[in-house]
Amino acid sequence: MASFFENQHLARRNTKILVLLYALAVAGVILAVDLVLAGIYAANLEWQHAGRELTWMVRLRMVPKSLYLWGAFGTALVILVVSAWHIVKLSSGGKAVAEMVGARRVTSDTRDPLERRLVNVVEEMSIASGVRVPAVYVMDGEAGINAFAAGYDVSDCVVAVTRGTLETLNRDELQGVVAHEFSHILHGDMRLNIRMIGVLAGIVFIGSVGEFLLRSQRGGGDSKGAAPIIIGGLALLLIGYIGLFFARLIKAAVSRQREFLADASGVQFTRNPDGIAGALDQIGVSSAGALIGNRHAEDLSHMFFGQGIQVRLSSLFDTHPPLEERIARVHQRFDRSSYRNTRATAAVAVDVEEKEPQGDEKRRAAAAGILAAASMAGRRGADIGSQWGRSALESSQLVGSMDGAKVDYAARLLGALPAGLREKLRDPDGARAAMVALLFAPKDDVMKTQVDALNAKGLTALAEQARAIAPLCRRLGAAFHLPVIDLALPAVKAAPAKARDELIAALEAVIQADRRVSLHEFVVLTLVRGQLAPRHKPGASGSRKIAELQGEAVVVLSLVTHAGTRQDATGERGAALAAAMRAGTQEMGLPDVPAATALSLETAAAALDALTGLAPMQKAVLIKGLFAAVSFDGSIRIMEAELMRLVGAVLNCPLPPLLESVDPATLAA
């Protein structure tokens, strides 16, 4: 199976193929328009000319070439303008797509048990895959069983399901559907899918104009004057079907094989073929099937989990493979009759009362004291880790991977969170306070300095909230920091711009209060800032090579090696630092250089920002080099593992939990 980076690269190639198919479709529509215009022109010529009757062939030869040229120019202009308008309209990404079909955003603190179950499943999948927790939407008016994921990149996406999905599927089946959608997120399908919506809108627009003209003449009194309009409308409607033909052909060509891959990856992620096979089977059983009633169902047909529209022309134009074939591929031994008989009839009613996993106080205090900063190396637990046993290449291939063991670990980790904290993360103010409290120092006197810095910035209310929640966050080690941030981000992103700006200002004040910025603090700030106030347009394609950004790559490599290199028996770490740097630069194909020793916050932030512009396969080289540096001694510690996950999050390279074999409950202080 292709790696995350290979899938991103293939998605770019598919975009180029889409452009070629689009050009062919535009040419087909232009040809059809020109033929219609020529026919109309010929039909309006006098039947007699120079004493002889004109045949249709003669009439068509009399059509001026300028008519063809202007017809082609006008048609191409209309198609391109409509496509461009839709692309701009969808520039905000997944949110725009969800709103396009009338989906409603589910708040993190929803009390609806069906929605609560959905949010919990999405959160588990996010923590397990390293993807930022997507915004969750529900299509309330849709009884069919369906879902989609939309967005321009893994850090800015949404997952939407129909009300029928929530009310019909049990938890395992719902998990299979969500895992399928996460596969689309990680395989780079979303960006291409959104672009297809905008691009194909121009192709079918002319048919929409023809339909409008026909509707406008219904009930008209002047039948003679309406005749040309009706004929023109019928002609444009016919052209529209030509556009629809090309649009469906393009969508079918692009999406069908991706659905097979997403199904297989969903099974790999959940380790439960019954889940996704059962969900597909329920589509077949349900009277509503997977059909979507929204008027934009055609536009989004290639994005849905199931066949959202009826295609009467031919199965050639289906955007999804047949249900039977999909079920057979994911579960060869699936017995529909047996599954339906054993499937608990009250499964949904029983498990919708989704409660937060609760553990004892020891589990909820998991990983206490491991703050993933060099200054904390002497604390108990800071060096807990394990033998790594993976090469740099194998390590880089973990980016975007989908492993069922990670889902189990994510459930255990979420269960180890203090119940009060988990609830706070669902509220915008509580989520902001928790993110600030994560960076409070363990010593009371230093924390007081940080609180004073917040008060000096006029953030008194946020300071008090963070101080109140600090006891819940203080015991959480590095393994919990990224999950807590991820769980908090959806609520914070939904808050007003002022509240988001205040959070960034608060994090900056807390970090700089003790005049000492740890690498962990810096990366957390960079990640949150990138999520709430991105410098780049979501989904912006990078094309730079690592050789062009050698200085920036060395800066980030230096940060990682400084944080992860330990002192030897003599109290020195110079040799180990040099060895780690050498391992990293060799994998990146860069000259052997010493680790940078004096770096400002601005320099490091600029380096990470620049490296987000690397081409997908070049990002693979960077991540491989960073892994070579942190694991050069054959082991990886909690601190190093979580630092790599944070750096990966900043670079849009989602890393799943790396040390899931270490039970969170064993890391209590």
Q: Which residues are designated catalytic?
A: 181
Give the DSSP letter of residue 614. B
C-alpha span between 625 and 635 (Å, rounded): 15
**CA-to-CA separations, 566 to 365, 375, 382, 385, 643, in angstroms, rounded:** 26, 11, 11, 13, 15
Token pair in block for residue 536: 């780049």
DSSP for 297-356, written as a single string:
TTTTTTTSSS--S---S-GGG-SS--HHHHHHHH-TT--HHHHHHHS-TTHHHHHTS---
Residue 429 token pair: 């103010």
Q: Which of 391, 453, 40, 25 is nearest to 203 (CA)?
A: 25
Nearest-5° angle of CA 464, CA 467, CA 468?
A: 85
Closest alpha carbon to 235 in 70, 507, 35, 43: 35
Helix H segments across 44-144? 56-61, 65-89, 94-100, 113-129
Count other Cβ atoms within 10 Å, centred on residue 273: 21
Residue 407's CB is within 10 A of a number of other CB atoms, namely 24
Task: Tell me how many helices (H) and strands (E) the chain has.
Answer: 28, 8
- The tokens for 206 are 């002319």
CA pair distance 476, 467, nearest whole angstrom: 15
**Residues 416, 660 contacting (CB under 8 angstroms):** no
Q: How far is it, in rounded angstroms, from Cα 74 to Cα 62?
A: 21
How far is residue 169 from each of residues 139, 344, 553, 663, measured CA to CA in Å?
A: 15, 11, 47, 31
- % helix / strand / coil in the chain, to the nearest 5? 65, 5, 30
**Where are the extended beta strands (E) located within 427-567?**
none
SS3 of residue 165 by DSSP = helix
CB 334 within 8 A of CB 273: yes
Element (H, E) at 598: none
Phi, psi of 108 (to 5 degrees): -60, -30
Of residues 669, 341, 603, 638, the one with CA closest to residue 480: 638
Output the CA–CA distances (angstroms, integers) from residue 148 to 300, 302, 303, 351, 421, in the order listed. 9, 9, 6, 23, 30
Instruction: Give the chain's length.
Output: 669
Residue 617's contacts (CB-CB under 8 Å, 6 or more residues apart) are 5, 6, 9
Report how far residue 370's alpha carbon sits from residue 379's, in angstroms, rounded to the nearest whole number. 7
> Other CB atoms closer than 10 Å to residue 27's CB: what's the count?
13
What's the distance, CA 387 to chain centroid?
A: 32
**Rg from Cα positions in the chain:** 29
3-state secondary structure of 587: helix
